[in-house]
A and B are shown apart, each in its own frame.
Chain A
């Protein structure tokens, strides 16, 4: 290695460390925020231009399944419409009963802030998206982010003045206390490097089957209970295993997020051990 390259290497290493420290101190936030604001229309344009091709490629790949899936979805839609009507009736009754019994509601006046997704982290090691809301809009680290259909997207992890990074539930470092809605089996939904979700620590004896809906549980205090995470796609593992191997797919289309809602009325609780 020539002395010129050696000097350059040392210089860049020092510059890198200086930038890391400045970045950690928040001094580079205006620069990063500015660049993201300027480039986000270009990124949106590029993404919108690429989406039809991506959709077409996906259709070509899944052509055989589309018709049968369409039929299945029609039947499911029919069934869900009926269920919505019944649930609305149940909701009215529940509210009346809660008033009578003065029970604290699970969703005390939900308040949301809508945000546009500006960008996605270009690294395959992180599953994160940038949104156009930050400290200025009252966001705080740990706030839960959901889709317009109220299924979980992730949590706010890095805050800047006018934007923030949201770590998705598919990130390898994400862990969400969850339960299977049908059997109430508890577990922890974790992400992975392959962007797939799985539920850890589901007891071997728990009744879990394909298609079961997985929702957030109140355990841990990081997520409000009852938000939809996804559907079980596979249940495996050996009978002698302590826990079941359960994989699921997120209900939210996390790779095509455009608008999300930040739940501002719920703040995570850092529970201390007794």
Chain B
């Protein structure tokens, strides 16, 4: 059930990202809502669920984009690796950790896409792409993280309460 909910949320986020967000660009870019949602899920629900939800996020992004399907799957993979930071207890709160991972993951995601474009034979202006797309996408994705974090957190607590009541 939880994975069905995750899949629906991710697909909805992908559709919103592709259809609504281009009308409201911030710093000329659109936030990576799908990736931010996957990160929120990873931090709130743990690494085990992330191993299912993160690939789902990659597939959702691939299905609505022009990149070959596996590229987005590969680009979302670092989210699970970054979640290892949680064990190091570097930040005082989970929310702060979410923000850090969203920022890093968004930038890595765009860099992987850039490498894929280059391998496909397109010319890539690395410095311009970093300044105009990679870095702004990281920042803008962070700006959209609080509502997504709240959504996943509240859903998660509701689910836990229902399980406890059932037990």
Contact = CB atoms under 8 A, between A and B. Distances in A.
- The dominant DSSP class at the B interface is helix
Interface in A14-56: 15-24, 28, 31-32, 35-36, 39, 42-44, 46-47, 49-51, 53-54
A5 B22 contact: no
Contacts, number: 149
Interface string A86-124: 000000000000000000000000000000000111111
Given A51-B23, A195-B28, A23 B133 contact: no
A121 B18 contact: yes
A1 B78 CA distance: 12
B55 A9 contact: no
Interface stretch (A75-83, A125-133, A209-217): A125-133
Interface residues on B, range: 35 or more
A122 B36 CA distance: 14
Interface residues of A, number: 53
Given A24-B68, A46-B15, A195-B28, A125 B129 contact: yes
Contacts of A51: 23
A183 interface: no
B69 interface: yes
A125 B133 contact: yes
Contacts of B58: 16
B137 interface: yes
Given A54-B24, A125-B114, A125-B117, A18 B70 contact: yes
Interface of B: 11, 14-24, 28-30, 32, 34, 47, 51, 55, 58, 61-71, 73-74, 77, 80-81, 84, 110, 113-114, 117, 122-125, 128-129, 132-133, 136-137
Given A19-B70, A20-B69, A123-B66, 6 more contacts: A23-B69, A46-B20, A128-B66, A172-B128, A192-B132, A255-B22
Q: Which 4 A-B pairs have the closest CB atoms?
A: A19-B70, A20-B70, A54-B23, A23-B68
Interface of A: 1-2, 5, 8-9, 12-13, 15-24, 28, 31-32, 35-36, 39, 42-44, 46-47, 49-51, 53-54, 57, 119-126, 128, 130, 158, 165, 172-173, 192-195, 255
